[in-house]
Chain A
Amino acid sequence: MAVEESVRSILSSEFGLDSSSLETDAAIFSAGLLDSLNSLRLLMMLESQFGLSISPLDVSLDDVDSISKITETVNRLKD
């Protein structure tokens, strides 16, 4: 839950998404809430927040298209 809360916080504070009302599985990029250009900033925020190393060359839409997917991706990379 801590990761999901942090992800929601990043989406809210950095991208202005009203993430408190965003369903966990709701599409973010494919629904147009963020565009692919925002993905890089999101990855940098995740790297900084969770101490990860993420190459944009290894991240697909399926890894970041919802809060639950971003959370899963972060948890996978943390392991």
Chain B
Amino acid sequence: MKDNTSRLVLGSLLRRPNKPVLGDDTVCLDRSSLFENVRLQANLFLQSGLRPDDFVVLMCDRGLAFWSELLAAWVLGAKPICVEKNISDEHAASVVQMTSVSKIIGADETTTPEFKALERLPSSFDPNAEAGDLQSCFRDLPFVDDSELPDLAGLIFTSGTTGLPKGVPLTHRALNLNALSTAQRLQLRDSDRLLIATPFRFISSISHFLVTLLSGAAFFGVERTLMIKDLIDILNDRDISAFGGSPFHMQFIAMAGEHRLPKLRWAMSSGDHLRREVIEKLAGNFSNLELHVVYGMAELGGRFCELPPQYLSNKAGSVGFPINGFEITIRRDDGTTCDVGEVGNIYVSGQIGFEGYFRNTKANQKVLSSVGFLNGDMGYVDDEGFVFLSGRSDSVFKRSGLKVSAQIIADALMNLDEIHDVFCTSEENDFEGRVPVAYISWKNESEMDSGEISRTLRRFIPVNHIPARYVSLPEIPRTGSGKVDRRRLASLIEATKGSSKAEG
């Protein structure tokens, strides 16, 4: 199926013009308003020279205009490159070099110099715009001819935990198939109002948007920083019945319970497995909450596994089984298939599949093979086909659903003159899933306190990579090959507990 994702989504909303479809904590657009915004925006882009197959940078962190602009760019067959507003200069330069992009949507005075040379396209977002009639507005959309529709619907980027972020091609075909398969499994109702509080450029957000609209429901999204109380207030103020968030969010949804969230009937956790304690608390504090646990990746156009609500009690900790269009196999390092219950590398294949990172032969050689896409996670499948994750095959772990690389932290620490050697790992944390911990051996007497180390690290690595704890050790024990000797490390940690300045 090669169909314009914009046509698929808008074509599913051709009735009930006054039904809410898109909102945040302050505004709410009905279908008529969304259609008119997409029509006006697509025509404005067309007049500004945006053409089929053009890459265009689409800046996020600007609110709901993002969705109207994304749909409008797709109408024209253009290929949005979704990036965060505070993208690093280095990443921005690589985007320009990789794609030869020449146009940008949503630039302002804070835009990185690397993007300032791009031609700025105008935005016409107006939450009060109204289409006269949905059918005729839809007919007036300047859809590119199918023959001119490129396979590529755009690019998003990996988190960059193992180097510079990699470009993940999104195709109309994969987005459509994934959204339709996911909608079938998630069973949102057309009366639902779904809220997300994650950056719109994430594949999880794009998948939520597509699935929600294809289900006939209304999508609400807030990108700004929210504390838990703010989130609860928005859920209630906007009459939200469905919430999509990370395991981090879910523990607070559980804590709030039905008495503080009386309208919530559906929740979806994604980003990592959901702990049994949180599942049990959700079940205990809500009388009838439909909870879905989902596993997804940008590389696969959205979701690829889901644990349906009826299996939560006896399969807690699992991410479920593949949605239509995907198959999963677990393989040993030599490529042979693992037995039931045996932990190995997760390979994903199937109709939706992943065809490789954008112009990145080196990365593709590592992850693509005849048996599918090696997705970097480790896990096993039980005797009923349910997938359980057991970590990453590299030094990456999830902190509150977001990837963190222990290697990036270790590299940043090794740049400090005072440090002789470092070992970074992660440990369980009640609220954040896993958090980074750094074990440090110092040169001479140059030990720093934890505040000084964090202040220095903040200049080089993302906030979520700052270790929760630093532990000073006389040495980082290593084997002859240079690997950390974990057995000796454990003894050393036990012997030096609480004795260092950096401890804490």
Contact = CB atoms under 8 A, between A and B. Distances in A.
Contacts of A33: 463
A14 B227 CA distance: 19
Contact of A56 (B228, B463, B468): B228
Nearest to B231: A36
Interface in B211-229: 224-229
B451 A41 contact: no
Contact of B455 (A18, A32, A36, A40): A18
A59 B86 CA distance: 27
Interface in A11-69: 12-18, 29-30, 32-41, 56-61, 63-64
Interface string B300-341: 000000000000000000000000000000000000000000
B232 interface: yes
A34 B463 contact: yes
Contact of A32 (B86, B232, B399, B468): B86
Interface stretch (B38-46, B95-103, B252-260): B252-260
A16 B260 CA distance: 35
Contact of B464 (A13, A29, A35, A60): A35
Contacts of B256: 57
B468 A63 contact: no
Main secondary structure of the interface of A (DSSP, over half): helix
Given A17-B455, A18-B455, A35 B225 contact: yes
A58 B224 CA distance: 18
B455 A61 contact: no
Nearest to A13: B451
Given A12-B455, A32-B86, A35-B464, A61 B226 contact: yes
A30 B252 contact: no
B466 A16 contact: yes
Interface in B451-504: 451, 453-458, 463-464, 466, 468, 504
Determine the interface band of chain B, counting residues with CB < 8 A from chain A.
20 to 34
B12 to A, nearest CB: 33
Interface string B440-452: 0000000001110
Contact of A37 (B229, B400, B454, B455): B400
Contact of A57 (B260, B451, B456, B504): B260
A39 B248 CA distance: 12
B454 A59 contact: no
Determine the interface band of chain A, counting residues with CB < 8 A from chain B.
20 to 34
Interface string B223-254: 01111111011000000000000001000100
A56 B491 CA distance: 37
A35 B431 CA distance: 14
B225 A61 contact: yes
Tell me which of B255, B256, B449, B463 has the highest count of chain A C-beta atoms within 10 A of its own C-beta. B463
B227 A61 contact: yes
A40 B232 CA distance: 16
Given A16-B455, A30-B224, A56-B227, A35 B449 contact: no
A38 B227 contact: no
Nearest to B455: A16
B119 interface: no
B151 interface: no
B451 A16 contact: yes
B228 A57 contact: yes
Given A37-B400, A61-B227, 15 more contacts: A12-B455, A13-B451, A16-B454, A16-B466, A29-B225, A29-B227, A32-B225, A35-B464, A37-B248, A37-B464, A57-B229, A59-B227, A59-B228, A59-B229, A61-B226
Q: Which 4 pairs of residues, A with B, have the shortest CB-CB distance?
A: A16-B454, A13-B451, A16-B455, A60-B229
11 contacts: A14-B451, A16-B451, A33-B463, A34-B463, A37-B432, A37-B464, A41-B468, A56-B228, A56-B229, A61-B227, A63-B229
Interface of B: 86, 224-230, 232-233, 248, 252, 255-256, 260, 399-400, 431-432, 449-451, 453-458, 463-464, 466, 468, 504
